Structure 1
Amino acid sequence: MAGVLLLLILMPASASAIGIVCGSGGNYTANSTYHSNLAVLNATLPANTSSSPQLFLTATANATANSTAGVVRALALCRHDTTNLTACRECVASSFSYAQKMCPNHTAATVYYDYDETNALQPGCLLGFSGDRDFLSPASGTTGNGTFFQYFNTVTSIPGNAGVVAAAVRQLLGQTARYAAAAARRFATGFMDSIGPGTTTTLYSLAQCTPDLSAGDCLACLQRLVGSINATNSVRLGGRIFRLRCNVRFEAFMFFDDKNIQRIPSPSSLAQAPAPAPAPAGKRHGVKPWVIALSVAASVALVALCFIVYCLRRLRIKNTKGKGKRPHEFQEGDEVWEMEAELSEFAVFDFNQILEATDNFSEENKLGEGGFGPVYKGRFPDGVEIAVKRLDSDSGQGFIEFKNEVELIAKLQHRNLVRLMGCCSQGEEKILVYEYLPNKSLDFFIFDEDRKALLDWNKRIAIIVGTAEGLLYLHKHSRLRVIHRDLKPSNILLDGEMNAKISDFGLAKIFSSNNTDTNTTRKVVGTYGYMAPEYASHGIFSIKSDVFSFGVLTLEIVSGKRNSHECGAFINLLGHAWQLFEEESWGELIDAALVPNIYSTEMMRCINIALLCVQENAVDRPTMLDVIAMLSNKSMILQKPKHPAYFSLSTAGNKEAPTTTKSCSVNDVTISTVTPR
């Protein structure tokens, strides 16, 4: 949105303070295609933004197919400390109305909508729309070609030494910017309660980027804003600076509602205490001998104490076997697990650290409940957000599974695998600490009638491909060949950009590169509906077991329906999909939230690939390397799939249907069942 006219409107006290940028690229006429497309966004963007998990949305309206004439692109972002989604929706809607009032018939405008002290906790928002092709590119907000808006309070200045105050403001905003760039939602708040000598003022700060920016681009954008504050503006009693994709604000009052506010020390409190002045030369002879003797004795005692502590510590480490646990050693009953040397840098957290980070496992921080226990959101003092899996003692995932998941996933590094940051084991408590992914899991979206609309086809196919690449890494390219054994939507986590990350490796198995399949002698574990028939019936698993689960997952993503939604005598999703594909009526399988149009060929190929993956005989199924090739090469001719496993949930008249399918996990909870001998 280059070449703009900046129009600053400051409303009276107790009303909104609004900055608006009217584009100078041209005007549209009434009843034009551009006008119609703008009206579409005006009607849909406020509600869609408020319902987005990130309170952020980019959208394009084009009423004319195969034409770029009159296309309108828009971006909306609400302040992330709000829990009032209605207020977010109303803010974006008001911004649209205000833009059309102040910039009549302009083809581009950006509105910065915020509030003053009397309405401090009202959520502000940002809205921009334009016909510019590059408008929605994240790079457009991080380069220097955009006009920014700034407003500083002009009536009062912060009391105290101007140099000290300016340094404190820059420290406050700079550190808040770093916290925001490191946060998944690109949002952070802070406060400084001791600016420096001569003032008792407490300052509050906020920094925010659009969540689609990378951490580096977000920090660069925010640092440009902070760097624009000069010596005069930095001592004002508050101010705010906006650009298209980032903004900062500071005030002498609490203007946000954020429980995760960070305390930021002032530069003066970080300064080292001055060294004591040397005694004047003429006075040195006046030092009493007993003072010198006492000082020497204290120094000798301190050295002796340090030596004793060191010796005791070495002795305790030497005798620790059987009496405790070393920093990377865990014990349960008679079983001792000493972490491998190559994992020595892996974080082992203290239980009290986890309690503090999760606020004692409070219900407010609870993200969900899996088959092995609840998962909580946590936050370390340095601002790093985490997801904490607290394993239930009676969940079935015991010491062996805990050891397995830690050793396994700590060695696996791939962009489509969730990152395990560390673990904790104390008494009955077994805890796994993962990176926090803000968009929860795939099932949170794909099976919800309202949220599934947020997953358009481009996002869904990206999730399918990302999951396939993660499985290919596990099966072929990692230094350990791994079978996941429990692939399902609740174990596909989504990051801030909706990228898929495979999680939950408690049931995963490492196998030799020479093995084509393995038989479990312990128990069959997993989730019915996603388990391959040879595994469910006979405990035989291989890489083709994961391929089967991937096929089920793909059909669920395309259709928006659960495979195990129905039990008894009804045909499940696999049989239903195969029947429609055979009848060339596959379009009926597509989720109603999707519009096939230009993606119809790609959708049909995904259904075909999925049906190849869920064929009853493992030997007929492709490998994940084959799947990646079929997904990436659209000219490759696909084979016709044979009928899938579990073609009918009823065993009547179907001798091949395994009897294990009579049981269903209708809520996708992982099931463990003893294998008959």
Structure 2
Amino acid sequence: MNLLLPLLLLPIWVFTTTLFSLPVHARPDPLVSTIYNPLLPSHYPPISQISAQLEAVSPGMPEVRVVHHQDVNKRILIALVVASTLLGGILLFLSCFWIQRQRNLRNSGRKSQQNLDAAKGLSLGPILGKFNSLRANGKKDSVTVIEYHLLVAATNNFSESNVLGEGGSGRVYKARFNENFLAAVKRLDRGGQDGEREFENEVDWLSKIQHQNIVSLLGCCIHGETRFLVYEMMQNGSLEAQLHGPSHGSTLTWHLRMKIAVDVARGLEHLHEHCNPPVIHRDLKSSNILLDSDFNAKLSDFGLAITSGTQNKNNLKLSGTVGYVAPEYLLDGKLTDKSDVYAFGVILLELLMGRKPVEKMASAECQSIVTWAMPQLTDRSKLPNIVDPIVRDTMDMKHLYQVAAVAVLCVQPEPSYRPLITDVLHSLIPLLPVELGGSLRITEPLPPVCPEPSSH
């Protein structure tokens, strides 16, 4: 604006200067000048005679000169009036422009304050809208950044009463953003390069992978050295909490357990068969299998996931959970999609027997569920005795034998003997009723599912 005013006034200045440079006196009459010339020849007539002749020839000459001066003055006056009018108009225009600009700035400030006030009021609409838009349009590699103060308010300053669970990487909190929307906030307290790498890995994979049996990432937050991940709410918690928590699996019927197994297999199949390049989860376990209000199972925690074929024994740090780690990975560092199949076999044994993957014995030693169960899984006379008492005698025995056979194949020490997860899925689908997503048609109605009220 400081440069605009001189540029606008420059033409007026030039115009005014030109007018003022006009002559303000009349050019002297050459006849009069000649009269006063001392070199005038002596034969010229007397002055009185010349004057008389001039008056006769050009009467009123002095009046003509006066009229010329008045005309010039009028022109100057008109120019000044026009220049002043233009200058006033320009100044008026600039004043209006400045006033309008100030109003726009004030309105912009009010809108910003309203947005801030809405954020303080925990309006998650823009966040959810952006998330839903990205999902609906199929946009990947995008994740919503959620402000820290929203998480603080939604979790009641990370209150102990809102803790849903706790793992090796940190706690998970229930977050209530409004009356109708709940989410789960994982607070990653693990610092250093490993913690930062796992956080970035989780955000990277879950922003790319979209599947009904893989948990959805709603957003993330970075606050100082602490990292936060915000997931969709899974009302029934983890499979580990359902099987080994206070209820000891009492809410999980045989068909619900088969449904969970099929859902996990579908999630793994998507990672192994439909992702390009294939993805190895590397940390599949019951605590990383989450259950929604309808007991739909979804895979979570992709902090250790890698693509198949990018790892070798020298550059891959041994990671995983005891009891789920495949022997070839534990001993030789060899990691393939068959390592995930081994972990799936362990989960299938948990569902079948209701026991933890590793249990302490009386001698203070630990024994894996695979070592303990393997001899009994292949003996049809002993198999019913190791089944979880909650679901014992509630299934078709042929189905029980088939599930046991699939589990035995999955936990084979030799990776090449293990089936592909696609083959596992096709073996389990016929055991699951159509109503739950399988292909089994039963004549008797399914017993009603009455899950215990969730504390989440």
TM-score above 0.5: yes
Matching of residue 533 in structure 1 with residue 327 in structure 2: yes
- How far apart, in 1, do the equivalents of 2:107 and 2:156 lie? 36
What corresponds to 1:131 in structure 2? Answer: none
- AA aligned to 2:153 is E
- Partner in structure 2 of residue 385 of structure 1: 182
Task: Tell me, in whole angstroms, the C-alpha distance in 2 between the residues paired with 1:581 and 1:534.
Answer: 22
Does 2:280 correspond to 1:483?
Answer: yes
The alignment yields a C-alpha RMSD, in angstroms, of 2.8
- Counterpart Cα distance in 2 of 1:307 and 1:353: 23
Residue 519 of structure 1 aligns to which amino acid in structure 2? K
- Name the SS for the 2:360 alignment partner: coil
Q: How far does the alpha carbon of each residue in 1:586-608 deviate from its partner, in whole angstroms, 9 at most, with x for none?
A: 11111001132542211221111
1:508 aligns with 2:305: yes
Match of 1:299 among 96, 100, 104: 100
Deviation at 1:295, TM superposition (A): 7.8
Q: Determine which of 353, 364, 371 is the counterpart of 1:575.
A: 371
Change (3 A) 1:504 1:300: closer
Deviation of 1:583 after TM superposition, in Å, equals: 3.1
Q: In 2 relative to 1, CA 294–383 (structure 1 residues): closer, same or farther, beyond 3 Å?
A: farther
- Mapped partners of 1:390, 1:304: distance in 2: 39
| Deviation (angstroms), 1:483 | 0.7
Q: Distance between the aligned counterparts of 1:594 and 1:502, measured in 2?
A: 24
Secondary structure of the residue that 1:519 maps to in structure 2?
Answer: coil
Offset, 1:408:
0.5
**Measured at CA, do residues 432 and 520 of structure 1 come closer, stay the same or move farther in structure 2, by a change above 3 Å?**
farther
Report the alpha carbon displacement of residue 398 of structure 1 after superposing the two structures with TM.
Answer: 1.5
Among candidates 412, 415, 420, match of residue 209 of structure 2: 412
- Pick the structure with greater CA Rg: 2
Helix, strand or coil at the partner of 2:102 = helix
579-588 or 457-466: bigger deviation = 579-588
CA shift, 1:478, in A, is 2.6
User: Partners in 2 of 1:395 and 1:590 — Cα distance?
Assistant: 43
Opposite residue 577 of structure 1, the aligned amino acid is A
In structure 2, the CA distance between the partners of 1:395 and 1:554, relative to structure 1 (3 Å rule), is farther
Structure 1 residues 367 and 624: alpha-carbon distance in aligned structure 2, compared to 1, 3 A threshold? same
Report Cα offsets for 1:475-494 as digits up to 9, x if no partner: 11134421111111111100
Instruction: Report the AA paired with residue 354 of structure 1.
Output: L
Match of 1:594 in 2: 391
| Alpha-carbon distance in structure 2 between the residues aligned to 1:461 and 1:442 | 13
CA deviation profile, 1:629-656 (whole Å, cap 9, x unmatched): 222357xxxxxxxxxxxxxxxxxxxxxx
The C-alpha deviation readout for 1:238-292, integer Å capped at 9, x for no partner, is xxxxxxxxxxxxxxxxxxxxxxxxxxxxxxxxxxxxxxxxxxxxxxxxxxxxxx9
1:627 deviates by 0.7
Contact 1:372-1:397 within 8 A present in 2 as well: no
C-alpha distance in structure 2 between counterparts of 1:424 and 1:597, whole Å: 46
Where do residues 549-560 of structure 1 align in structure 2 (5 Å cutoff)? 549-560=343-354
Q: Secondary structure at the match of 2:428?
A: helix
Task: For 1:540 and 1:559, locate their aligned partners in 2 and report how far apart those are by CA, in whole Å.
Answer: 29
Q: 1:431 to 1:304 in 2, by over 3 A?
A: closer
**8 Å contact from structure 1 (residues 371, 395) kept in 2:** no
Amino acid of the structure 2 residue aligned with 1:388: V
**What corresponds to 1:542 in structure 2?**
336
Deviation at 1:302, TM superposition (A): 3.1
Answer whether contact 1:374 1:389 (CA < 8 A) is retained.
yes
CA 1:633–1:297: 2 relative to 1, 3 Å: closer
- Aligned partners of 2:418 and 2:106: how far apart in 1? 69
Distance 1:520 1:417, change over 3 A: farther
- Find out whether 1:464 has 2:261 as its counterpart: yes
* Contact 1:351–1:425 (8 Å) recurs in 2: yes
Shift of 1:304: 7.2
**Partner SS for 2:315:** coil
Deviations 1:170-194 (A, max 9, x none): xxxxxxxxxxxxxxxxxxxxxxxxx
Aligned partner letter, 1:561: R
Task: Summarize the Cα distance change of 1:366–1:540 in structure 2 as closer, same or farther, 3 Å threshold.
Answer: same
Secondary structure in 2 matching 1:463: helix
Residues of 1 paired with 2:374 and 2:196: CA distance?
41
Matched residues in 2 for 1:306 and 1:344: separation?
35
Q: Which residue of 1 aligns with 2:414?
A: 617
Q: Deviations over 1:310-360 (max 9, x none)?
A: xxxxxxxxxxxxxxxxxxxxxxxxxxxxxxxx6575211111111111111
Is 1:419–1:435's contact at 8 Å kept on the other side of the alignment?
yes
Shift of the 583–366 alpha-carbon distance from structure 1 to 2, 3 Å rule, reads same
Take 1:547 and 1:627, find their aligned partners in 2: how far apart are those partners?
Answer: 9
Q: CA deviation at 1:380?
A: 1.6
CA distance in 1, matches of 2:315, 2:269: 26
C-alpha offsets along residues 366-386 of structure 1, whole Å, 9 cap, x if unaligned?
A: 111111001101022473211
2:358 aligned partner = 564
Q: What is the alpha-carbon distance in structure 1 between the residues aligned to residue 105 and residue 210 of structure 2? A: 47
Q: 1:227 — aligned with what?
A: none
**Residues 435 and 547 of structure 1: is their aligned pair in 2 closer, same or farther, counting only changes over 3 Å?**
same
Q: Is the 8 A contact 1:518 1:542 kept in 2?
A: no
Aligned-partner residue type, residue 434 of structure 1: Y
Distance 1:484 1:570, change over 3 A: closer
Deviation, structure 1 residue 307 = 11
Cα deviation 1:203-248 (Å, max 9, x = unaligned): xxxxxxxxxxxxxxxxxxxxxxxxxxxxxxxxxxxxxxxxxxxxxx
Q: Contact between 1:453 and 1:593, CA under 8 Å: does it hold in 2? A: yes
Q: Which residue of 2 aligns with 1:436?
A: 233
Matches within 5 A, 1:43-442: 298-303=99-104, 343=140, 345-381=142-178, 383-394=180-191, 397-442=194-239
- Change over 3 Å in CA distance of 1:538–1:303 after alignment to 2: same
Q: CA deviation at 1:449?
A: 6.1
CA 1:582–1:346 in structure 2 vs 1: closer, same or farther (change >3 Å)? closer
CA offsets 1:75-116 (integer angstroms, 9 cap, x no match)? xxxxxxxxxxxxxxxxxxxxxxxxxxxxxxxxxxxxxxxxxx
Q: Which runs of 5+ in 1 are unaligned?
A: 1-291, 309-341, 635-677
Give the structure with the larger strand fraction. 1
State the shift of 1:305 in Å: 7.8
Structure 2 SS opposite 1:398? helix
Contact 1:596 1:603 (C-alpha < 8 Å) held by counterparts: no
Cα distance in 1, alignment partners of residues 408 and 222 from structure 2:
42
Structure 2: distance between partners of 1:449 and 1:590: 19
Relative distance call for 1:604 and 1:398 in structure 2 (3 A) is same
Q: Which has the higher helix share?
A: 2
Q: How far did 1:391 drift?
A: 0.3
Contact 1:372 1:395 in 2 (8 A): no
Name the structure 2 match of 1:248. none
CA contact (8 A) 2:215 2:298 kept: yes
Letter in 1 for 2:233: Y
- CA distance in structure 2 between the aligned counterparts of 1:364 and 1:597, rounded to whole angstroms: 37
Q: So what's the TM-score if we normalise by structure 2?
A: 0.62
Question: d(CA) in 2 for partners of 1:532 and 1:597?
Answer: 31
Greater mean alpha carbon deviation, residues 572-581 or residues 550-559: 572-581
Q: Using the alignment, how far apart are the partners of 1:362 and 1:571 within structure 2?
A: 37
Q: What TM-score does the superposition give when structure 1 sets the normalisation length?
A: 0.43
Tell me if structure 2 keeps the 8 A contact 1:391–1:397. Answer: no
